Amino acid sequence: MTGMYVHARILAEPRQWRAVADALCADGAARLHGAGGELYGVWRSQIGRPRDELTVLSVWPEGADEAEAMDLLLDGVADVSGCESQAMAPTLRPEHPDPPRRQGNYAFRWFDLPMENWPEFLELCTAAWPGFESSYDSQVIGLWQCRDSAQGLCRSLLLTRRPDLAMWERSKIPQGEAEAEVRRQLSRRYDLCDDTYVYTTTLLSAEDRQDEVRWT
């Protein structure tokens, strides 16, 4: 689980998100690979983020420079109007840098919490994830800790995959005692946080099928 991951929000010019995504998945991925990094995934906005914004994750060897990584990714890519990035370290997952490949509903959930609550937060994740994944045909892709969190605070990103939005709703409404316990453990994490928010996406770099739905 060593290495650095970089989360980036890349804003394309109006209606150019597809062209920018294609450039990142092709030439951008090749540039990263040539420099020792890898493109982990490119996602399009579904609910909660601007239409023309892409979410991009890349993975790098330990010691890589975040700014240089982003410069390399965006080098020569037309129709980009803005970008913000965040260096992160993997925690419980991912255990290896193999990227997600299946299409689905991907939720990016951010947590801000006092560092003193972080050990309990991790314990709750460890306890809840097996039941969450088996009950809802879902996968926890990763939980990363941001590297520039303010002193005494922890900012983390949780990335999960569900088959579709219907399963997103289903996972919030437990059926039976086992699912209720999973929901209790997951909900307890929110009580440990000063702030949390989520947005959903679909995977443009998926290998099984493309998402052609007009979400926005």
- Token pair 């702030």 is found at 195
Q: Is 106 exposed, middle or buried (0-12, 13-18, 19+ CB in 10 A)?
A: buried
Other C-beta atoms closer than 10 Å to the C-beta of 169 total 10
Position 2 confidence tier, pLDDT thresholds 50, 70, 90:
low
Position 214 confidence tier, pLDDT thresholds 50, 70, 90:
confident
Q: In the predicted model, what is the mean pLDDT of residues 149-163?
A: 94
Rounded distance between C-alpha atoms, residue 46 and residue 80, angstroms: 19
The 10s digit of each residue's pLDDT in 79-133 is 999 999 999 999 999 999 999 999 999 999 999 999 999 999 999 999 999 999 9
Residue 1 has pLDDT above 70, yes or no: no
Task: Tell how strand 139-146 and strand 153-162 pair up.
Answer: antiparallel
Q: In the predicted model, what is the mean pLDDT of residues 164-179?
A: 93
Q: Are 198 and 46 in contact (CB under 8 A)?
A: no
The 10s digit of each residue's pLDDT in 6-51 is 999 999 999 999 999 999 999 999 999 999 999 999 999 999 999 9
Closest CA to 111 of 189, 196, 190, 194: 196
> How much is the mean pLDDT over the chain?
95
Closest CA to 94 of 163, 144, 29: 144
- Residue 212: its H or E element: none
Q: What is the pLDDT of residue 29?
A: 96
Residues 105-201, CATH architecture:
2-Layer Sandwich (3.30)
Q: Do domains 4-88 and 105-201 have the same CATH topology?
A: yes
Out of 3.40.50.620, 3.30.470.10, 3.30.930.10, 3.30.70.100, which CATH number does the structure's domain 4-88 have? 3.30.70.100
Q: What is the pLDDT of residue 149?
A: 79
Other C-beta atoms closer than 10 Å to the C-beta of 164 total 13
Residue/partner pairs of 190-193 with CB below 8 Å, 24 or more apart: 192/113, 192/114, 192/117, 192/120, 192/121, 193/111, 193/112, 193/113, 193/117
Q: In the predicted model, what is the mean pLDDT of residues 143-151?
A: 90
pTM equals: 0.95
Tokens encoding 194 = 């000063």
The domain segmentation of the chain, as residue ranges, is 4-88, 105-201
Pinpoint the alpha helices (H) of the chain: 17-23, 29-34, 66-74, 118-136, 165-172, 177-191
- Token pair 């991912």 is found at 94
